[in-house]
């Protein structure tokens, strides 16, 4: 039995049309399946949580779970998985960013379907776990109805400027228009350029792997990366290893708007670390505290602001069929 979670509105409806192709393959091979079409923020998380909770001796394990959507839908599913050892995940990217798939060297959708129908573990990847020390009552413009103090992520998590860009992009009408012509990632670029001049630059304290805290007088944002890309194709972590149990953490300090405008195009190719004020560290755990609450994202999904977050890399937890 396969359980499929499909975001029908992904990339302006392309998700539903692509689902038809996979559904036909299930029928041709007489493979049992159940499908749920997501109906809004948090739906995929709740469905996954229910599917992966309270296993009994009668359950067929591992649970074969197929996700068809973008990074946001995948994030909800990964966050909903209760026991990674009992779940085998298939993923067909149909989003505007597709940062998870971007560095996975995935085959065509038809070949992806074949891998999924084989039902075998092809890779085991790291995932990150975010824990909020504090959460504000202020919620993102597009948020789940149930807010947890923990969140799992497959691609990256960030606090500050990058999360603020994601928060605005989630409710952007421009994004929907650009998705229809295959240019959805430009949404993030346009919003980022506009926010460069208004982003807060405040102090923060960073504790890495329980070492002595690092204090910064000002920072723009901190991106905690599992994969190479974030924000629709910015290579913030060019040397990331998806299986080593370590984050690649990009720390962006106080940069002038001009220097940021220089750094952004360089980041597309991962060439931005030559710019003063942009640093990279590798770590398994990191804690970040700020004097005021700031937006936080996981895989581009934004729920709340926080002034204290802890992140831990969980090595090779995610078993996937692609």
**Running along the chain, 322 residues long, what does each successive block of 10 average in pLDDT?**
90 74 94 94 94 79 94 95 96 88 88 93 96 84 76 96 83 53 58 75 93 94 96 93 98 89 92 95 97 94 94 98 90
Tell me the C-alpha distance between 291 and 215, whole Å: 12
Tell me the C-alpha distance between 128 and 224, whole Å: 9
CATH number of 2-125: 3.40.50.10330
Q: CA distances (Å), 58 to each of 48, 54, 55, 147, 165, in order?
A: 19, 11, 8, 32, 45
At 196 the pLDDT is 77
Helix (H) or strand (E) holding 257: helix 257-267
CATH number of 128-317: 2.60.200.40
Count of other CB atoms within 10 angstroms of residue 227: 25
The ranges assigned to domains in the chain are: 2-125, 128-317
At 187 the pLDDT is 63
Q: CA distances (Å), 100 to each of 106, 156, 254, 310, in order?
A: 10, 9, 28, 22
Name the 3-class secondary structure at 19.
helix
At 250 the pLDDT is 98
Count of other CB atoms within 10 angstroms of residue 198: 9
Tell me the C-alpha distance between 154 and 129, whole Å: 9
């Amino acid at each position: 039995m396969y359980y499929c979670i499909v975001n029908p509105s992904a990339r302006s409806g392309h998700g539903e049309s692509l689902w038809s192709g996979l559904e036909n393959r299930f029928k041709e091979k007489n493979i049992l399946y159940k499908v749920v079409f997501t109906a809004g923020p948090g739906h995929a998380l709740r469905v996954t949580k229910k599917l992966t909770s309270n296993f009994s001796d009668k359950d067929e394990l591992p649970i074969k779970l197929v996700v068809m959507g973008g990074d946001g839908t995948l994030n909800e599913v990964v966050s909903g998985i209760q026991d990674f050892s009992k779940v085998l995940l298939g993923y067909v990217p149909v989003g505007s960013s597709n940062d998870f798939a971007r560095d996975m060297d995935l085959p065509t959708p038809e070949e992806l379907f074949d891998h999924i129908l084989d039902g075998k573990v092809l890779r085991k990847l790291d995932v990150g776990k975010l824990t909020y020390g504090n959460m504000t009552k202020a919620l993102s413009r597009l948020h789940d109805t149930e807010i947890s103090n923990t969140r799992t992520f497959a691609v990256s998590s960030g606090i500050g400027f990058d999360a603020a860009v994601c928060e605005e992009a989630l409710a952007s009408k421009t994004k929907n228009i650009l998705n229809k012509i295959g240019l959805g990632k430009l949404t993030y670029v346009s919003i980022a350029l506009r926010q460069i001049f208004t982003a807060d630059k405040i102090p923060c304290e960073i504790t890495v792997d329980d070492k002595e805290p690092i204090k910064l007088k000002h920072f723009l944002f901190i991106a905690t990366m599992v994969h190479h890309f974030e924000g629709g194709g910015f290579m913030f972590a060019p040397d990331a290893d998806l299986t080593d149990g370590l984050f690649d953490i990009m720390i962006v300090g106080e940069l002038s708007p001009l220097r940021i405008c220089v750094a952004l195009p360089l980041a597309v190719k991962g060439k931005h670390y030559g710019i003063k004020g942009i640093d990279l560290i590798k770590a398994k755990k990191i804690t970040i505290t700020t004097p005021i609450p700031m937006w936080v994202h996981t895989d581009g999904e934004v729920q709340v602001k926080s002034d204290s977050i802890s992140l831990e890399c969980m090595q090779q937890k995610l078993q996937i069929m692609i």
